[in-house]
Chain A
Amino acid sequence: MEMVLDILSWIFLLAGGAFCLIGGLGLLRMPDVYTRLHAVSVIETLGMGCIILGLVLQAGFTLVAAKLIIIAALILLTAPVATHALAQAALHAGILPKLDHDKTGGHIAGEDEPSNS
């Protein structure tokens, strides 16, 4: 039992570290702000989730595990708010995303007339 838990937390911690590294690599490679947001969301969901899950398996059924789950829930609740605020602020500041396909027809939600400026 102990052995199985150890192996599982090894797997989860390694996977979490790997996802964090992938996200960091993506943050360096992606061409513009909006695509970098996607790289960061890999870190904040999968990387964070795997590492916390690995730690919970090591902590067992204790107060420490409860605190870890609170941390995971808080990050999952706050990360999209920060990401959305960042994307919205970047759009309002006039930074337009580099697009391959624009299916909005130049129309952004909340604006009356199409703006292509």
Chain B
Amino acid sequence: MLIGAFCSFGVAALASRMELLDKEGHPIYLLGRALWYWPWLIWEIIKAGIDVSKIILSPKMPISPTLINVRSSQKSAVGIVTYANSITLTPGTVSVELEGDEITVHAITRAGADDLAEGHMDRVVSRFEGGGAT
């Protein structure tokens, strides 16, 4: 086990000396902010999940599927991917297509699409990515 630990530390040290690592490959600098971003995301997932469950269980199934384009204000690739993944992870909205800073989102209800277009999640992800308040 000691040899294994020594080897992995050695490889990491060599890789960083050879400048093989970049910020994108190992975004450890996001870890501190992730500690408050993840609970917020989990809370959003719970709220949205209960909404979708109500839609499924109601006999009429009041769905109004909507396709909408949203702009993401993140600067780095990590931020945009985090935003798109957060959209998909939240029940009720799925990011269908992603190009540049434009994301096409399929939402199961009109209200869900409107919430997303309002841009609250976008601002939170931007703060998670950049640290600065927007």
What residues of chain A have their CB less than 8 Å away from a CB belonging to chain B?
A: 19, 22-23, 25-26, 29-32, 34-35, 37-39, 41-42, 45-46, 49, 76, 79-81, 83-84, 87-88, 91, 97-104, 107-110
Contact = CB atoms under 8 A, between A and B. Distances in A.
Looking at chain B's contact residues, the main secondary structure is mixed
Interface residues of B, number: 41
B57 A22 contact: yes
Contacts of B110: 100-101
A81 B98 CA distance: 12
Looking at chain A's contact residues, the main secondary structure is helix
Contacts of A41: 52, 88-92, 94
Nearest to A37: B94
A85 to B, nearest CB: 10
Interface of B: 42, 45-46, 49-50, 52-53, 56-57, 61, 63-69, 84-86, 88-100, 102-104, 106, 108, 110, 113, 117
Contacts of B108: 35, 38
A23 B53 CA distance: 8
A83 B65 contact: no
Given A35-B108, A80-B85, A108-B97, A98 B65 contact: yes
Contact of B66 (A76, A79, A102, A110): A102
Contact of B100 (A35, A42, A79, A109): A109
A109 B98 contact: yes
Contacts of A76: 89
A87 B94 CA distance: 8
Sorted nearest first, the 7 A-B pairs with minimum C-beta distance are A110-B99, A80-B88, A26-B56, A100-B64, A46-B49, A109-B102, A109-B99
A42 to B, nearest CB: 5
Given A45-B49, A109-B100, A81 B106 contact: no
